Amino acid sequence: MFDATDSAASGSTPGVQAPRVGVFVCHCGGNISDVVDVKRVAEEAARMPDVVFTTTHMFHCSDPGQALIEQKIREHALTRVVVAACSPTLHQITFRRAVERAGLNQYLFEHVNIREHVSWVIEDKEAATAKASRLVRAAVNRARLLVPLDKRRIPIHPAALVIGGGVAGLMAARDLGDRGMKVTLIENRPFLGGRMAQLWNVFPTNEEARPLLSDLVRDVVKHPLITILTGAHVVNSEGVVGDFKTKIKIDARGVDERLTYPGNAIAACPEETISEFDFALSRRKAIYMPYPGCFPPIPAIDWHTCTKCGKCVAAVGGKGINLDAKPRELTLHSGVIILATGYDPYEPLLGEYGYGIFPKVITLQQLHRMLDPEGPTAGALPFDSNTPVRIGFLHCVGARQIDGVNAPQPDGKVKDYCARTCCTAAMHAAVALRERFPKSHITSFYQDMRTYGRGHEEYYEQASQLGVLFVRYSPWHPPRVDKDRAGKWPVVVRTNDLLTDGLPIEVPLDLLVLATGVVPHDISELVTMYSCAVGYDSFLLEVHPKLRPVELAVSGVFLAGCCQGPMDITEACSAASAAASKAAAMISQGQVEMDPFIASVDEEVCTGCQTCLTVCPYDAIVRDEARGLAIVSEALCTGCGTCAAACPSSAIQQAGFNDRQVRAEIDVLLGPVVGRGPVQAPAEVVT
């Protein structure tokens, strides 16, 4: 069962010392020792071959516990260390460092989990001790075959790429720039500012959105370390953390800074289309600027609408407009990438709560455009401020939907998550409307009022004080929006009010505002390119919501803002700053460390069958055509070991998890019960 040739072979391999194993079993203050007889575990481990020292300790993770490990490594010239304690996710790193401090390679350490996997889950003390002993002995047998490995260090290209020019992307770029990092910010629309630029006034400070945004844009634009590319789309991405090569295509803008009177060019343009910036409330020209003060402060040409008639060129005397401009491609090198791709407001389905059927059913985003003094209606609503106008807000449109109640989206799913921002946004708008139209009657149809943030609840209170009427509807019976049979009102909302014990009510309205949810911006191509994890709600998924909240599982790629989930501007900015500081920390290290569990090919054995090429998720294996062999690219290999499992001739082995090491564990786990056969004289046991 114990392969004598293994230890002999490893002893003779250059750089690999003959195994002298030390086993350290932790009490974990009783967490383990109350169930497991740790002393017996240590004694049984001592009978394993090559074990020269075993002991137990109350807390091996404590400073004295670690010091003991270091001391015994030196004292007994240990060359392999096994610690049986909690889960390796907790303290593997602690013990690896201790081992390294004692002058041993940290990968000559093996961690055994006898707390989460034994003492906390198994009630029978005898069975728990037997299992702990089995696991420890298996680890010893595996440890005998460990070889020193070096952490892989990859140099980092000292530059960052921020994808997305909304508030989160701008924030991340500014923070990185302020830390002295070179940043390239790319935005696929022709103008910066993202969704925030479309808002009129923002909670919780009641500030106008665009002045706030232009402060940030100004900081970014004048920053010497930040390069901004608008109209840029990611075409392809290669490489890994440290050296991402991102190929981008930059749309031709058709206009440059020499254009002095953009107004003349825009006025001359005969082609019109729907303005996406104003959520289809207005029309714009083929050469356009979304709003005065936008950045870049020059118009862009929408090539889908432009007929290249040349009237704009003529209107400005031919200076600054080039209708034959071509898109260009370039490759950006960066060490890290921040995704700030943002969200799209939920677009209600045709007929959902009367949207698209009744002209007086609009979304909250459209209301913001209408209230905006620079918007399509110059801030005016189509009501007289003296008339008792009736306005309704309907919450949870495209949010918190129930499968079977709400119509599914094109992807077959319903939007069952809370969009988090719309309750406060609707209350904020309701307060603004009440103040502007003191005679108005405002009704809010809601499921649950979720004004959760700091300073958000105040809007709810203020709305209540201003006489906004609240009607609570059941998500199982959403309100119906119909036309008024009498023809007096544009729309009528019918529902059962849960606050009055389900009383059926009918509310006629002049205007119904749908507080719509938040859906991720479609970035399916980026998701495939960077192998991003995506949650059930289609937003990007962080590694851990608490401990690693802005990191993707792909090393070197960070998340900022609403690509990760619904956030208000405050939260998106915090997330962006967090992502920037994580990214800066990684860059300033100069290099990234990665686990060395990569695959390697035994060229003597490889037959060049190319099976491994088909299974590698990272295309890290290529075929050396000249020699007919598979070659693993160490920089691309992430160490999953899939190729090692697939190789029909076992020519590929994964460092740290090679066949012999895994088999060494199986051998002991399934071996005879200890104490039966003749074994060597036990090693020193200190308890």
Residue numbers of the site for other proteins (CB under 8 A)? 1-2, 4, 7-8, 18-19, 49-50, 87-89, 113, 115-118, 120-124, 127-128, 130-131, 134-135, 138, 531, 533-534, 553, 597, 615, 617-618, 638-642, 644-646, 650, 654, 657, 659, 662-663, 665-667, 669-673, 676-680
Taking the least distance from each CB to other proteins, the nearer of 141 and 495 is: 141
DSSP category for residue 19: P
Phi, psi dihedral angles at 6 (to 5 degrees): -60, -55
Q: Give me the least distance between CB of 269 and other proteins, in Å please.
A: 47
Q: Give me the least distance between CB of 678 and other proteins, in Å please.
A: 7
Distance CA 351, CA 374 (A): 29
Taking the least distance from each CB to other proteins, the nearer of 89 and 387 is: 89
Distance CA 94, CA 92 (A): 5
Taking the least distance from each CB to other proteins, the nearer of 487 and 648 is: 648
| 376-383 long-range contacts, CB within 8 A, separation 24+ | 376/275, 376/278, 376/281, 376/282, 377/281, 381/436, 381/437, 381/511, 383/437, 383/440, 383/510, 383/511
Taking the least distance from each CB to other proteins, the nearer of 331 and 607 is: 607
Q: Give me the least distance between CB of 405 and other proteins, in Å please.
A: 26
Taking the least distance from each CB to other proteins, the nearer of 498 and 529 is: 529
Taking the least distance from each CB to other proteins, the nearer of 68 and 613 is: 613
CA-to-CA dists, residue 210 to 196, 223, 422, angstroms: 7, 20, 19
Nearest residue to 289 (alpha-carbon basis) of 280, 279, 302: 302
Q: Give me the least distance between CB of 236 and other proteins, in Å please.
A: 17
Please give the distance of CA 372 from its chain centroid, rounded to a whole number: 33
530, 618 Cβ separation under 8 angstroms: no
Phi-psi region of 637 (alpha: psi -120 to 50; beta: other; left: phi over 0): beta
Nearest residue to 274 (alpha-carbon basis) of 289, 261, 285, 263: 285
Taking the least distance from each CB to other proteins, the nearer of 449 and 652 is: 652
**Could you tell me the two tokens for 258?**
């020499």
69, 97 Cβ separation under 8 angstroms: no
Q: Give me the least distance between CB of 503 and other proteins, in Å please.
A: 42
Q: Give me the least distance between CB of 669 and other proteins, in Å please.
A: 5
Residue that has been written with the tokens 């950006």 in this structure: 332
Taking the least distance from each CB to other proteins, the nearer of 121 and 585 is: 121
Q: Give me the least distance between CB of 521 and other proteins, in Å please.
A: 20
**Could you tell me the two tokens for 160?**
């960052």
DSSP string, 398-433: TSS--BTTBPPPTTS----S--SSHHHHHHHHHHHH
Phi, psi dihedral angles at 652 (to 5 degrees): -95, 130
Taking the least distance from each CB to other proteins, the nearer of 224 and 678 is: 678
220, 228 Cβ separation under 8 angstroms: yes
Distance CA 316, CA 299 (A): 13
Q: How many CB atoms lie within 10 A of CB 630?
A: 25
Q: Give me the least distance between CB of 308 and other proteins, in Å please.
A: 44
Q: Give me the least distance between CB of 643 and other proteins, in Å please.
A: 9
